[in-house]
Structure 1
Amino acid sequence: MAEVVWEEPFCGEGNNCFRLGTDAEGHAFIAVSGQEDRYLTDSREALQQMILDIKAGKADHLL
């Protein structure tokens, strides 16, 4: 597995914290903070849109 560089955790009010990461090839990753070995990966654009939707309150139930 390529080395993933994780950003600082994002924590919503009363929800789990999650982290975004990228590798040297530009692949995007998302994981629950503290469980970075269990991640999802997709295009950076897809993950960015999901995060924007979560922050906008459209997908609170996912966390």
Structure 2
Amino acid sequence: MPKITWENPFCGAGNNCFRLGTDSEGNAYITVSGQEDTYLTDTREALATLIRDIKAGKADHLL
């Protein structure tokens, strides 16, 4: 398992919280807060785009 540095959880109103993380090689990770052993990984750019779209309301159903 890679050493992942997790950011503080991001929580939508009344919804699950998720966390973003990175490792020393620049890979990005996303998980539901409290389940950091189970995560998705992609490039940092791809996950940043996903988060920007969620925050912009383009995919708020994911929260």
TM tier, smaller:
over 0.9
Which position in structure 2 is the counterpart of 1:14?
14
SS in 2 for 1:30: strand
- 1:60 matched residue in structure 2: 60
CA distance in 2, matches of 1:61, 1:14: 12
Q: CA deviation at 1:14?
A: 1.5
Structure 1 runs not aligned, ≥5 long:
none
Query: Could you tell me how far apart the structure 2 residues matched to 1:57 and 1:13 are?
Result: 13
Q: Which runs of 5+ in 2 are unaligned?
A: none
> TM-score under structure 2 normalisation?
0.93
Q: Any residues of structure 2 matched to 1:34-49 within 5 Å, and which?
A: 34-49=34-49
TM-score normalised to structure 1 length: 0.93
Count of equivalent residues: 63
How many Å apart are 1:33 and its aligned residue?
0.3
- Runs of 4+ that moved beyond 3 A: none
